[in-house]
Amino acid sequence: MLSAGAVLVDVRSAGEFAAGHIEGALWLPLDRIHLDVATAVPTRTQPLILYCRSGARSQRACKIVEQMGYSHAINGGGVGALSKLLNRPVVGGP
């Protein structure tokens, strides 16, 4: 279940994020999430919705943050479907 107060986290590359991301999302790329998530989201009980292009990278990111003690990490799947589900626009890009 998606939480209304959850922090959206985009785990895609810098280029993908710049090309379009869900409004209000944090950018924490998969290859750095283990280094940056604690600074960006210090409360480990804060609900997180992680997403990427298809859901594969965000699933890996969920496992990483769960191992770090984040107890409410959800794989939101792909950016397009999640944007529609949350009724939030994709911003950025051309």
Positions marked catalytic: 52
Buried/exposed 5-14: b ≥16 CB within 10 Å, e otherwise: ebbbbbbbbe
Q: How large is the angle between the packed helices 56-67 and 33-40, nearest 10 degrees?
A: 70
C-alpha–C-alpha distance, residues 50 and 77, integer Å: 7
